[in-house]
Amino acid sequence: GAGVSQTPSNKVTEKGKYVELRCDPISGHTALYWYRQSLGQGPEFLIYFQGTGAADDSGLPNDRFFAVRPEGSVSTLKIQRTERGDSAVYLCASSPGGGRSPYEQYFGPGTRLTVT
């Protein structure tokens, strides 16, 4: 079956602009996670959805970052007033169950965001 997909694969934007990054999880997966990976680093957690609600958004760096998952499937990560420091690969992962579940997380290919 289809894996996690993310669009766009690459996004170049100017400092100060608004961007939206999309994630399509594996069908039926209730848990969805967003991570951010800077060059030479491991991914860092941003936000976790269980169904439609954000169960944990403690990893969002500031209030310029926001994410939604209105129907419990597709999620959109939104970044306002982008800064050069936001440049990174944004990864999405889904899982059949979040929290204390025995399931693996399955990752998408990521969106490479470059802020000029």
Residues of the shown chain interacting with other proteins in the complex, contacts defined by CB under 8 A: 4, 31, 33, 35, 40-45, 48, 50, 55-56, 59, 91, 93, 95, 98-110, 112
CA distance 43 to 75: 18
CB of 82 to other proteins, least distance (A): 21
- Residue closer to other proteins by CB (options 19, 91) is 91
CB of 1 to other proteins, least distance (A): 15
- Residue closer to other proteins by CB (options 64, 112) is 112
